[in-house]
Structure 1
């Protein structure tokens, strides 16, 4: 059959050249589009024409790029890196949506610097307030030795308030040749330095002494005249205390009844000037007596005195 003239060149006929000034259309996708795909396409077109649409399109781009990045990193076995990528992408998306953290108010800090607090809290210049978990941030802050408690509050769209309560330096703890500043609850909070705030702190020595520091410091605080003569308190076998006096005398306290023994020691010192005598040890571990050990010089002097008395007694009248 013959074709009519010009029939093969009609617009849209197979093999016909495209009209001047128009682009050639791509052949249609042989796969039928699903209803959800059509709806998503129409929604994207509508959103792109508004400011919200442009922002949403940016969020969608971030999500797609981040998703492919995480997929590739996980396939490579770097799960930790993948988690950080997810957080970064989430922060970027939150920032595009207008939730970038612009203000962080920190209060209550003295020994811990604001930079350390922000680092532990994980708050950076690119952080979005949407993805700051206040409870998890508080737990991380309270894990710092100096911080006893913390509160983290979020104020949308862009402000975070962090308030901390620091532990107070209570005593010095010497263990294995090192000296540490400890809080009342025994937690080491800093290595010892020549900071004037630490010079007058009481010193406890020995394994486990930091856990029982409160009992000995409080007991001596009730007897300030005795406390001022103590250089350090040594915990022996994690059971009882020995006081190392500034003049070199060791005072051995009982495991039970320590407060009573300290009061008895003060009475002896007031009545007989015990702590100013030439002795090396005062043993208060026995409830019914006080055992005193003389220094070597005092012991020699006492021996010579007793010999002289015995000699004088032999040479005297019958």
Structure 2
């Protein structure tokens, strides 16, 4: 009984039974703690909060955020090796804006090209359908064009608002240079400008062979031009140890020239051929490397014939009168 003479009843018996929550039969999954923020993120957050509470206010915090994000973006571009892609992206954005303002390149005038095509020139210059004249660097474009093998020099003029004039001076095909089993067309200064082909313009070019021959091609070609009778018999000029030349004639004779006195040696061999028909004889080598004599090597057949003649003369002397 309670203090009022009443019988105390059971609380559970009188009160309604509370509904128990359903238990999940699956085992509880452990909750992963969030990854700790990096030092850079913590520093950025702290600086942002402090700057936001300072007299600079939220604008300063926003500016800091832009600077930091831009800095890390630039760092990622550099470390990831995407500098060129990023530069092209920025240039494309600039071109798009300038084109809207009326500075899109609509006319490109080319002059002076013969071996190179207009499309090759435009590709080397970096001029595309979306290029704006504001972002064309004339000096840089000229330098790019002059890296092309055929182009010796170039000029680039920008005429606002939408025109570019490009004039090029091409190198001339001067000779054929054979090295390591390959033949290339070269200019007088030795610059390789194209692989050899059946182009009729290349067929009559002089041929030089060997390491260093391309650098001295003007010397031998000019020297032979002064002796046309000999030049017309030359098939190729071979550079030996980058010190001297050996001429390979069309009839198979090798003419070994000295290191010095090239012009005098060529005149001497031309005189011997005119007076003695030297280059029409059965010989394989004419050696002019010695300053005081000309050495000739007979062919195998001519050497055998000469040996037989010498033996016959010796035998005739022995059988003659005492």
Alignment of 1:40-119 (within 5 A): 75=76, 77=80, 78-119=82-123
The CA RMSD over aligned residues, in Å, is 1.9
Counterpart of 1:20 in structure 2 is none
Q: 1:184 & 1:303 partners in 2: Cα distance?
A: 47
User: Structure 1 residue 155 and structure 2 residue 159: aligned?
Assistant: yes
Of 145, 148, 169, the match for 2:149:
145
Is residue 223 of structure 1 aligned with residue 227 of structure 2? yes
1:167 to 171, 185, 190: 171
In structure 2, the partner of 1:211 is: 215
Distance 1:69 1:300 in 2: 88
| Structure 2 counterpart of 1:235 | 239
What whole-Å deviation, never above 9, does each CA across 1:25-76 have from its counterpart, x for those lacking one?
A: xxxxxx9xx9xx9xxxxxxxxxxxxxxxxxxxxxxxxxxxxxx999857645
Deviations 1:227-283, CA, capped at 9 Å, x for gaps? 110000000001000000000000000000011000000111111000000000000
Of residues 301, 304, 310 in structure 2, which corresponds to 1:306? 310
- 1:94 positional shift: 1.1
Query: TM-score with structure 2 length normalisation?
Result: 0.76
Number of equivalent positions: 254
The alpha carbon displacement at 1:79 in A equals 2.1
Question: Deviations along 1:202-243, whole A, 9 cap, x unmatched?
Answer: 000001100000000000011111111000000000100000
Pick aligned residue for 1:177 from 153, 178, 181: 181
Is the alpha carbon distance of 1:223 and 1:70 closer, same or farther for their aligned partners in structure 2, counting shifts above 3 Å? farther
Structure 1 counterpart SS, 2:86: helix
Q: Which runs of 5+ in 1 are unaligned?
A: 1-30, 38-67
1:259 is matched with 263
